[in-house]
Amino acid sequence: MAAGQHKDGVAAGRLSSAQIKHNFDDLHPPLDHHEALVESDRCYFCYDAPCMTACPTSIDIPMFIREISTGNPLGAAKTIFDQNILGGMCARVCPTETLCEEVCVRETAEGKPVQIGRLQRYATDVAMAKKKQFYKRAKNSGKKVAVVGAGPAGLAAAHRLAMNGHAVTVFEAKKKPGGLNEFGIAAYKSVDGFAQAEVDYVTAIGGIDIKYGKALGKDIQLADLAGKHDAVFLGMGLAGVNALGAPGDKSEGVRDAVDFISELRQAKDLTKLPIGRRVVVIGGGMTAIDAAVQSKLLGAEEVTIAYRRGQEDMNASEFEQDLATANGVVIRHWVQPKKIVAKGGKVTGIELEYTASKGGKLTGTGETVTIAADQVFSAIGQQFIAQTVNGNAETLVLAGGRIKVNDEGKTSMKNVWAGGDCVKDGREDLTVAAVAAGRDAADSINRALASNGRA
């Protein structure tokens, strides 16, 4: 234990640099050549490929695994990139345990699926290390497309549009590209600056210009973009964060989990990142898990996730929940925040109310418990800010608080498509689903541009 780990309150330097480096090592180390060959040999190459059906981007999984098994990782990478140009990151962050690997026949028969995610990473890593580009930009079409957001959806759309010869300008609110891949996932899932390396790989096709510090609704307006471009794709994700809404939630030490994760991802020295000795995270999704586990890895002694419903209701996968508990995180179910306990304006604890489900409706029981805490992270979901798109111009139709689109990603506004977390389209809020949405919308835009010259 590092000297200073015993300190009360929020403090930096709870662990040594060596311990921090070890704690934030790659969650799933890459397979070497021999390991990839052995693992690929486990695939049955099923004719009906349930793994492919489960993949939101419909990658031909048996095909790319067979290509690996025959010593052709570049061919495997092309098979992956044909459907998912961000296949490298998806191999790292996809919840494969609830997608392709969950339906793997090996999982059904033996309880041990083919490690599809790690095989996908192996192939894409080989291609990127060799700087092998499989796609060339088509002859300039003379069409201009604006893409809002340099996250997974925006990057996937931009690449597909550039491949078809369109001039793409990406408008990104932050000073760096990548979106959630850069700012919103646990550091141990994407090490060594991979998010930025992938952006460089994707944009190397040419014809993609990224402008930073351009927030929609503030620095740029949707009506202007639509007027100056032949088509617009909106892929800016969710900028709003749901408020905790408990008395005392403005106390020092209470913050949004997404901000904490973003700060951690951008920190150059994690030993200088302050963390509490006792941390409580409110929520039951992937963000809650990421915040809790990383708090523990930074040196927090006691980390508790408080979730208002039961284990089976948590959005975080069973694998992620197990990862949290394996790292010493305590997950408490059927509790909700009642109030933040503070002294001198600083958090000292949180009062939780026990909950119960009655007739399918969640209700508080009136019984409470107080947990000591130096820091409280709120991870209770994000929301779309409609004002960014619905200013003084034609308004977009919303559904469920997000942009409504048809099956091709087309919005109610002429020339405008959307995809990713900012839309309501029935897809899960996953990186791989955002990539699929961006790709599909780009194909729709390309068809529209080809048919009538303007979307």
Label residue 178 left, alpha or beta by phi (over 0 means left) and psi (-120 to 50 means alpha).
left
- pLDDT at residue number 4: 46
Domain span holding position 392 = 144-239+384-452
Measure CA of the first residue to CA of the last residue in the chain; give whole Å: 61
Q: Kindly tell me the burial class for residue 346, based on how many C-beta atoms sit within 10 Å of its own C-beta (0-12, 13-18, 19 or more).
A: middle
Q: Please give the average per-residue pLDDT across 170-178, as a whole number.
A: 96
Please indicate, yes or no, whether residues 101 and 220 belong to a single structural domain of this protein. no
Find the helix or strand (DSSP H, E) in which 300 lies: none
Please indicate, yes or no, whether residues 169 and 200 belong to a single structural domain of this protein. yes
Q: CA-based Rg of the chain, rounded to a whole angstrom?
A: 23
- 300: domain CATH number? 3.50.50.60
User: Do the domain assignments include residue 400?
Assistant: yes
**Each residue of 130-164: b (16+ CB within 10 Å) or e?**
eeeeeeebeeebebbbbbbbbbbbbbbbbbbbbbb
User: Do the domain assignments include residue 290?
Assistant: yes
- pLDDT at residue number 394: 58
Domain termination residue (choose one: 102, 129, 156): 129
Residue at 182: amino acid letter: E
- 454 pLDDT higher than 90: no
- pLDDT at residue number 392: 44
Could you give phi then psi for residue 134, rounded to 5 degrees? -100, -10
Instruction: Please answer whether residues 104 and 51 qualify as being in contact, where contact means their C-beta atoms are separated by less than 8 angstroms.
Output: yes
User: pLDDT digits over 304-330, tens only?
Assistant: 999 999 999 999 999 999 999 999 999
Identify the weakest region by mean pLDDT among 1-5, 195-199, 214-218, 246-250: 1-5
Q: Please give the average per-residue pLDDT across 100-116, as a whole number.
A: 96
User: pLDDT digits over 400-450, tens only?
Assistant: 889 999 999 999 999 999 999 999 887 888 999 999 999 999 999 999 999
- 73: domain CATH number? 1.10.1060.10
Q: Please give the average per-residue pLDDT across 370-392, as a whole number.
A: 86
Please indicate, yes or no, whether residues 263 and 221 belong to a single structural domain of this protein. no
Q: Which two tokens stand for residue 415?
A: 């020339």
Task: Please tell me what DSSP assigns to residue 229.
Answer: S
- pLDDT at residue number 87: 97
User: pLDDT digits over 337-366, tens only?
Assistant: 999 999 999 999 999 999 999 988 999 999
Instruction: Please answer whether residues 52 and 62 qualify as being in contact, where contact means their C-beta atoms are separated by less than 8 angstroms.
Output: yes
